[in-house]
Amino acid sequence: MTGVVVLAVVLVGATAMGLLWRSRDGRVRPAPEATELLADATLAGLGVDPAAADTTLVQFSSAFCAPCRATRAILARVAADTPGVAHVEVDAESHLDEVRALDIRRTPTVLIVDRSGRVVTRAVGQPRLADVRAAVARDRAAD
């Protein structure tokens, strides 16, 4: 009888954690560090020039990340369809100092950086196309 109770508790806990994970994965949220400018050295180390575009989509990827490929296609589409938007893909393994400085914990992670170098939005996991477009529109409206 005790085994059945333990099994039920484990199943309920695992289900709750799975639902929580799924509800947060890929959601585009305002970045907590939106009020802080990224250091020029951090941006330069990533190959990002925020002044080159109104909005820059910075994607952190890794070699064996399947959602990273889909995210790359989504961000490339937004950059191609929206004037003044650039997409930069960063290999997280090759830029560990910047990954630590920006608190990147998994791939794909997308940072939306405005012209002044502020991270205004962050998405962890594969974002939806509509969410990325809406976040870019919000960033442009804020300028």
Q: Which of 113, 132, 117, 55 is nearest to 86 (CA)?
A: 55
- Can you read off the two tokens belonging to residue 26? 């890929």
Condensed to tens digits (0 to 9), the pLDDT of residues 17-28 reads 777 666 666 666
Ranges 79-83, 84-88, 111-115: which has the least confidence: 111-115
**If you average pLDDT over residues 93-122, what whole number do you get?**
89
* HSE value, Cβ hemisphere, 13 Å, CA-based, for 98: 23
* pTM of the complete model: 0.76
Distance of CA 96 to the CA centre of its chain: 16
Per DSSP, 81 falls in state H
Condensed to tens digits (0 to 9), the pLDDT of residues 53-69 reads 899 999 999 988 999 99
